[in-house]
């Protein structure tokens, strides 16, 4: 517990943003399971999100966390791309309004969380991962 | 430096994201190029004239110089269709017409939320702004409408709109009717009713449309029994409230309008507690149809419409409802049936059995009535008055017509009868009258022994007076009746059409019931000698025995119009004959020999009396034959010749040098077809989303072929939005072939000015019950009325160079579980009703295209049935054109993989289904058949030829001469996407370089500082 507490003391906002991206990725995976039978969910997205989560955890574990934001951004972009590619027919059908007259909640939630994941991943690129980084940057900038 | 590094990251993210989005958009758009081009009226092949350009290439010319004129004429025609197609079904004490200047109140939320059309393929892209609402329609006719009531309903129209579940969502289509409680409405505007009390006009609306659900028999929360097609508790309370006000003298009359795509139970019509004085069935009226309703209500026009369907006191009296929605197979062996969401498609769960046989609608009600009157055994205690509210073909007028001088003449050359009857206007106002001729075939011992059913009456001809008849004037109406209609299909013994022994009657009358009574009178029956089982005295002079057949005739009609020998083709869709079902799932069809024993009225959704079918492994294997390729076998047949450079363009195939049309069988077509490559052929068959593909090798242009059955849904070429015609059911109710011709001509002009070459519609499936969501697009319960109206309409449309895709071949008579629904029926009812509608359409209208249906006919979808598409449609019925699938998606959206597991396109082409209606090409499906499948290759060539021949003689060739060449060109949206891809791609690469540079500098600096 103390190790975790000590670790968190060193973490800057970047860590928390990346952590939030991992959480939203997990939500996307849950929504994937809920909506799989509807056919608008993509296995490509599933794989990307799973790799995103595992890679980020591994990078932190092996102290290569500097690459985590980039990995998150690329993989979340691919995930959202696969999702759009697979679900556009569903959108067309809903808009046509013959068979389905409105979007279901799972699809709407998926859109929200895919976008969130990507936005958080992008944000994590621009914020410092660790407090020491921030302090170092601030001291260098003051120099 | 840090700022630059941050900037480099931001630029990389921004341009990387934009590049990704534009690449994704490009990928999706290119996948759907044909659909997008068709929607935007674009093509990748521009026409380049290489000759002198002097040839007149407007092969199909318009009569309209101005789209505004066309719009005006169309909107005028819509009014006239309603004026002639609305049916006056009750008019007690001459409650109608109202007087101009009368003060009226529109009552009920339906008065504000009135019905113009339904949803699905009939829907225009958006409202035109020319829509006339009910209030405007009435004011147009000179009535003064209660503004307070109107404003009140407008203010609550969002709150009191019907509660609907989505087509694919759980629950019934209509969860609640949601009428405004009378107490609430009366409190809001009741004080104005006395001032606007000349009449209260209550508009009853029900709306459904294309999709996966029909109107529900149960589950509506605010009707007495959950049935969406009965008046809701609040609607009934509203009528009771109006009756109370009428008793007090506050209002003088209660008028009911039936405005919608389905008709409710009419149990309220003659029930004294509701006090209805008059009722006008207007159905879905189209863009300007309420002007026609107004004209009818004030008597500017005298009603002359006749009911296109039997209207029931309670819809539940219709025996088809016992077997309607689609039931799940018994599955004792626990076979794995594919579901829509298991990734394999197939829709293998549901079926429906047409257990009623030929006794659909009035064929049931009138036949059982006749047997009841004649005291035939096993008829049961049948009560016609409690069953039928409005007979098929019935309609009242503001005047009285009488018929006389019925004469019939046989014409040997045409094998037809000419029937004439004099119509006299005995009333005080001018009016039109539609005369209907009904046939009664014998039903004797031969029929009973050989299980050949016969209806008491069936419509075989009709016509309308050419103009209004003035009071005391007469007009003789002449109608031709094809004697081929006298034949019955004997599926059991002779396996062809036969003339059964006995008397054949022809009768005229105001609807099927009137005609039945006239025949009964001719047979000597009367109310007095039937103990009042007969409900009215018929007129024996209006019915006559036209022929008597002594012994069965198995020869005269054993060949089709095309000379094809007729024999059983559809044993596979009859449960009693299909080898996989006859032992496990026999069915007892309704027979008039035993009404008591075979009619089961049990329409609730949870009924247990529906016909049961057991799924077996053999049956399931046949279910999958349309998809799994098992019907395609390798052979050593030599492939057609491909890719010959003969230099013949499609335009050159219209006419020979003498100006004569080059026939379909002309050897020049073989030479022409040799020019196509394998890839050309595949492209033509596998790209068809509302279009046909361009083929530059033969200079064939792409065509725009689009919805829909109630007129083109796409805008005119100048951007003006198109009007929506009334329901085709209204058109059928006009019983006016001349008006239908006129409307067809306008449809053709509309389509021509929309840039169409093909029109998806009309549709001639039958109204098996009022619950079918798509009745708005279908004409009638009767095959003759459907086929003849459609045929006349199509003939007129096609004269403008627009080929019609007739929908939906065949048995797409319901929407519930429509994808892959397994439909079973006997061959007599199949041929005499459901195929008959298409047969008459083909004979009268010669349609050049057809759309196959989603449902299975027996075990396989119609697109995978060569006995249907080749043996019957082309060989027997003589259809000359091509067949397209319904919307074809195998795609990746689960429950909407429309044809996954049902139909592969190579199998479809092999069976006679020529083209796919899919936005994504299905070309890859043909790839395994490049070698070793010669028979399929020849069928592919035939399919391609059918499409090319049809397009060659259509408005799609306007602007194309023999010297026109097709030149590939990117469309504006493709150019835009490529440009964006290039810009964002380059920007992303630049940003990447910038980032790499900054990253490098940052790390060098870091290393330098660490070194220091």
pLDDT by residue (tens digit) across B934-966? Answer: 999 999 999 999 999 999 999 999 999 999 999
- Write out the two tokens for B683: 């492209």
Task: Please report residues of B whose CB lies closer than 8 A to that of A73.
Answer: 13
A94-119 burial: b if 16+ Cβ within 10 Å, else e: bebbbbbbebbebbebbbebbebbbb
- Write out the two tokens for B780: 């009638």
Task: Please report residues of A whose CB lies closer than 8 A to that of B891.
Answer: 39, 89
Of B452, B432, B434, B460, which is closest to residue B493 (Cα–Cα)? B452
For tokens 């994937």, the residue is A32
Which chain A residue shows the shortest CA-CA distance from B816? A99
Residue B896 pLDDT: 57
- Write out the two tokens for B33: 């190029």
The verdict on a CB contact (< 8 Å) between A102 and B166 is: yes
Residue A7 has pLDDT above 80, yes or no: no
Nearest to A100 among B6, B121, B167 (CB): B167
Top-confidence residue, B60 or A3 = B60
Nearest to B896 among A81, A86, A99 (CB): A99
Question: CA-to-CA distance for B270 and B311, rounded, in angstroms?
Answer: 14
For tokens 């197609």, the residue is B85
Residues 34-73 of chain A whose Cβ lies under 8 A from any Cβ of chain B: 37-40, 42, 73
Residue B893 pLDDT: 46
User: Using CA atoms in the order B256, B262, B267, B271, what is the torsion angle rounded to 10 degrees?
Assistant: 0
Å between A39 CA and nearest CA of chain B:
4
For tokens 């009071």, the residue is B471
Do B214 and B775 touch, CB atoms closer than 8 A?
no
SS (H, E, C) B47-81: EEECCCCCCCCCCCCCCCCCHHHHHHHHHHHHHHH
- A126 CB near a chain B CB, below 8 Å? yes
Task: Please report residues of A whose CB lies closer than 8 A to that of B24.
Answer: 81, 84-85
Do B714 and B722 touch, CB atoms closer than 8 A?
yes
Nearest to A98 among B6, B120, B889 (CB): B120
List pLDDT tens digits, range B411-458.
Answer: 999 999 999 999 999 999 999 999 999 999 999 999 999 999 999 999
For residue B231, what are the CA distances in angstroms to B148, B177, B191, B458?
Answer: 25, 9, 25, 31
Nearest to A39 among B17, B169, B893 (CB): B893
The verdict on a CB contact (< 8 Å) between B894 and A39 is: yes
Question: CA-to-CA distance for B127 and B722, rounded, in angstroms?
Answer: 9
Contacts (Cβ under 8 Å, ≥6 apart) of B895: A37, A38, A39, B168, B340, B341
CATH number belonging to domain B596-955: 3.20.20.300
Do B682 and B940 touch, CB atoms closer than 8 A?
yes
**Could you tell me where the beta strands, DSSP code E, fall in B366-464?**
388-390, 401-411, 416-425, 434-440, 458-464
Fold of the B363-561 domain = Immunoglobulin-like (2.60.40)
Å between B263 CA and nearest CA of chain A:
22
Of B44, B1, B38, B23, which is closest to residue B695 (Cα–Cα)? B44
DSSP state of B559: B
| 3-state secondary structure (DSSP) of residue B566 | coil
Residue A143 pLDDT: 46
- A101 CB near a chain B CB, below 8 Å? yes
Task: Please report residues of A whose CB lies closer than 8 A to that of B121.
Answer: 98
Do B213 and B816 touch, CB atoms closer than 8 A?
yes
Residue B1002 pLDDT: 83
Task: Please report residues of A whose CB lies closer than 8 A to that of B166.
Answer: 100-102
Residue B460 pLDDT: 98
DSSP secondary structure of B73-130:
HHHHHHHHHHHHH-EEEEEGGG--SPPTT-EEEEESHHHHS--S--BSTT--SS--S-
Interface probe for B, chosen from A41, A69, A82, A89 (most Cβ of B below 10 Å), is A89
Residue segments in chain B with a per-residue pLDDT below the cut of 70: 1, 120, 122-126, 340-343, 603-606, 891-897, 1007, 1009-1012
Task: List chain B domain ranges.
Answer: 2-51+990-1011, 86-303, 363-561, 596-955
Of B83, B87, B107, which is closest to residue B199 (Cα–Cα)? B107
Question: CA-to-CA distance for B758 and B345, rounded, in angstroms?
Answer: 30
Residue A92 pLDDT: 75
Residue A80 pLDDT: 94
Provide the 10 A C-beta neighbour count for residue A142. Answer: 6
Å between B636 CA and nearest CA of chain A:
40
Residue B326 pLDDT: 80
Question: CA-to-CA distance for B283 and B395, rounded, in angstroms?
Answer: 14
Residue B212 pLDDT: 79
Residue A136 pLDDT: 54
DSSP state of B650: G
Contacts (Cβ under 8 Å, ≥6 apart) of B135: B106, B111, B145, B150
Do B696 and B750 touch, CB atoms closer than 8 A?
no
Residue A90 pLDDT: 80
Å between A7 CA and nearest CA of chain B:
24
Do B613 and B330 touch, CB atoms closer than 8 A?
yes
Contacts (Cβ under 8 Å, ≥6 apart) of B523: B374
**CA distance from start to end of chain A:** 37
Question: CA-to-CA distance for A70 and A18, rounded, in angstroms?
Answer: 10
> B801: which strand partners?
none
Of B748, B966, B755, which is closest to residue B39 (Cα–Cα)? B755
Residue B402 pLDDT: 98
Checking A113-116 for CB contacts under 8 A at 24+ apart, the result is A113/A24, A113/A27, A113/A28, A113/A31, A114/A28, A114/A45, A114/A76, A114/A79, A114/A80, A114/A83, A115/A80, A116/A24
| 3-state secondary structure (DSSP) of residue B818 | coil
The verdict on a CB contact (< 8 Å) between B893 and A73 is: no
Residue B894 pLDDT: 47
Nearest to B24 among A81, A89, A104 (CB): A81
Provide the 10 A C-beta neighbour count for residue B294. Answer: 27
Interface probe for B, chosen from A33, A98, A136, A137 (most Cβ of B below 10 Å), is A98
Mean pLDDT value of segment A105-115: 93
CATH number belonging to domain B86-303: 3.40.50.1700
């Amino acid at each position: 517990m103390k190790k975790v507490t000590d670790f968190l003391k060193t973490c800057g906002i970047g860590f928390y943003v990346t952590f939030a991206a991992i959480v939203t990725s997990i939500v996307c995976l849950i929504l994937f399971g809920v909506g799989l039978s509807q056919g608008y969910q993509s296995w490509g997205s599933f794989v990307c999100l799973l790799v995103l989560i595992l890679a980020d955890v591994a990078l932190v574990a092996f102290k290569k966390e500097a690459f985590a934001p980039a990995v998150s951004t690329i993989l979340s972009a691919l995930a959202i791309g696969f999702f759009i590619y697979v679900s556009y027919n569903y959108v067309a059908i809903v808009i046509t309004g013959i068979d389905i007259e409105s979007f279901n909640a799972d699809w709407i939630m998926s859109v929200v969380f895919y976008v969130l994941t990507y936005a958080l991943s992008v944000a994590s690129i621009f914020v410092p991962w660790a407090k020491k980084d921030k302090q170092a940057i601030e001291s260098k900038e003051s120099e | 430096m840090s700022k630059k590094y941050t900037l480099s990251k931001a630029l990389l993210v921004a341009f990387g994201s934009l590049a990704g989005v534009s690449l994704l958009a490009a990928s999706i758009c290119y996948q759907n190029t044909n659909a997008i081009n068709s929607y935007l009226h674009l093509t990748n092949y521009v026409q380049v004239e290489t000759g002198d350009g002097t040839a007149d290439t407007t092969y199909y010319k318009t009569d309209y110089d101005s789209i505004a004129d066309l719009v005006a004429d169309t909107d005028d025609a819509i009014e006239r269709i309603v004026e002639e197609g609305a049916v006056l079904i009750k008019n007690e004490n001459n409650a109608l017409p109202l007087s101009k200047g009368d003060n009226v109140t529109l009552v009920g939320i339906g008065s504000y939320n009135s019905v113009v059309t339904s949803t699905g393929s009939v829907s225009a892209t958006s409202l035109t702004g020319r829509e006339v609402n009910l209030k405007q329609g009435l004011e147009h006719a000179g009535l003064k409408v209660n503004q307070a009531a109107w404003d009140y309903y407008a203010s609550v129209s969002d709150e009191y709109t019907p509660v609907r579940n989505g087509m694919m969502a759980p629950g019934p289509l209509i969860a609640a009717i949601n009428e405004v409680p009378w107490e609430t409405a009366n409190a809001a505007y009741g004080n104005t009713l006395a001032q606007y009390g000349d009449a209260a006009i209550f508009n009853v609306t029900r709306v459904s449309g294309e999709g996966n659900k029909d109107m529900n028999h149960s589950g509506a929360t605010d009707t007495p029994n959950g049935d969406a097609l009965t008046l809701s508790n609040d609607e009934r309370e509203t009528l009771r409230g109006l009756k109370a006000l009428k008793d007090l003298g506050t209002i003088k009359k209660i008028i009911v309008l039936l405005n919608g795509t389905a008709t409710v139970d009419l149990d309220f019509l003659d029930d004294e507690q509701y006090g209805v004085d008059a009722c006008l069935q207007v159905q879905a009226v189209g863009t300007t149809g309420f002007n026609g309703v107004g004209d009818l209500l004030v008597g500017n026009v005298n009603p002359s419409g006749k009911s296109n369907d039997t209207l029931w006191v309670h819809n539940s009296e219709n025996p088809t409802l016992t077997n309607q929605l689609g039931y799940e197979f018994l599955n004792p062996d626990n076979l794995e049936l594919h579901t829509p969401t298991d990734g394999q498609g197939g829709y293998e769960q549901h079926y429906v059995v047409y257990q009623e046989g030929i006794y659909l609608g009035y064929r049931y009600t009138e036949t059982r009535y006749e047997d009841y009157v004649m005291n035939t055994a096993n008829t049961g205690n049948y009560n016609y008055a409690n069953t039928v509210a409005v007979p098929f073909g019935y309609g009242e007028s503001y005047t009285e017509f009488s018929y006389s001088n019925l004469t019939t003449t046989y014409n040997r050359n045409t094998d037809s009868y000419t029937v004439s009857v004099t119509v006299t206007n005995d009333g005080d106002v001018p009016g039109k009258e539609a005369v209907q001729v009904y046939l009664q075939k014998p039903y004797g011992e031969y029929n009973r022994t050989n299980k050949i059913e016969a209806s008491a009456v069936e419509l075989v001809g009709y016509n309308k007076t050419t103009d209004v008849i003035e009071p005391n004037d007469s007009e003789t109406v002449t109608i031709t009746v094809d004697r081929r209609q006298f034949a019955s299909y004997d599926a059991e013994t002779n396996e062809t059409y036969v003339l059964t022994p006995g008397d054949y009657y022809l009768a005229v009358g105001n609807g099927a019931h009137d005609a039945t009574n006239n025949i009964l009178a001719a047979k000597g029956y009367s109310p007095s000698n039937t103990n009042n089982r007969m409900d009215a005295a018929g007129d024996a002079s209006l019915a006559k025995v036209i022929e008597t057949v002594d012994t069965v005739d198995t020869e005269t009609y054993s060949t089709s119009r095309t000379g094809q020998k007729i024999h059983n083709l559809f044993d596979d869709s009859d449960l009693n004959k299909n080898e996989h079902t006859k032992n496990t799932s026999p069915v007892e069809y309704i027979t008039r020999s035993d009404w008591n024993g075979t009619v089961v009225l049990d329409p609730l959704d949870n009924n247990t009396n529906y016909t049961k079918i057991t799924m077996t492994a053999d049956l399931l294997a046949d279910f999958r034959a349309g998809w799994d390729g098992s019907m395609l076998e390798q052979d050593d047949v030599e492939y057609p010749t491909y890719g010959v450079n003969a230099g013949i363009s499609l335009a050159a195939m219209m006419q020979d040098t003498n100006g004569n049309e080059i026939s379909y069988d002309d050897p020049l077509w073989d030479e022409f077809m040799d020019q196509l490559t394998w890839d050309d052929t595949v492209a033509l068959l596998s790209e068809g989303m509302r279009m046909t593909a361009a083929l530059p090798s033969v200079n064939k242009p792409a065509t725009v072929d689009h919805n829909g059955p109630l007129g083109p849904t796409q805008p005119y070429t100048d951007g003006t939005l198109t009007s929506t015609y009334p329901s085709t059911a209204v058109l059928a109710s006009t019983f006016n072939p001349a008006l239908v011709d006129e409307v067809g001509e306008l449809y053709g002009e509309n389509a021509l000015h929309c840039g169409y070459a093909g029109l998806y519609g009309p549709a001639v499936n039958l109204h098996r019950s009022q619950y079918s969501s798509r009745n708005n697009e279908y004409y009638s319960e009767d095959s003759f009325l459907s086929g003849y109206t459609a045929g006349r309409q199509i003939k007129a449309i096609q004269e403008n160079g627009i080929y019609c895709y007739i929908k939906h071949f065949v048995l797409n008579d319901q929407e519930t579980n429509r994808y892959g629904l397994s439909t079973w029926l006997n061959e007599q009812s199949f041929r005499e009703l459901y195929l008959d509608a298409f047969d008459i359409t083909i004979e009268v209208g010669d349609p050049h295209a057809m759309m196959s249906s989603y449902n299975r006919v027996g075990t396989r979808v119609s697109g995978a049935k060569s006995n249907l598409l080749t043996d019957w449609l082309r060989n027997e019925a003589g259809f000359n054109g091509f067949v397209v699938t319904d919307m074809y998606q195998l795609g990746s959206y689960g429950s909407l993989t429309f044809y996954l597991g049902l139909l592969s396109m190579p199998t479809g082409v092999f069976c006679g289904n020529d083209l796919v209606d899919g936005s994504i090409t299905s070309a890859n499906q043909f790839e395994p058949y490049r070698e070793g499948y010669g028979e399929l290759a020849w069928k592919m060539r035939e399919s391609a030829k059918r499409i090319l021949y049809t397009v060659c003689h259509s408005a799609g060739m306007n602007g194309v001469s023999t010297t026109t060449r097709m030149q590939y060109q990117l469309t504006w949206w493709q150019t835009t996407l490529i440009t964006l891809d290039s810009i964002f791609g380059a920007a992303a690469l630049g940003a990447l370089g910038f980032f790499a540079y900054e990253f490098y500098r940052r790390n060098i600096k870091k290393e330098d500082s660490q070194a220091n």
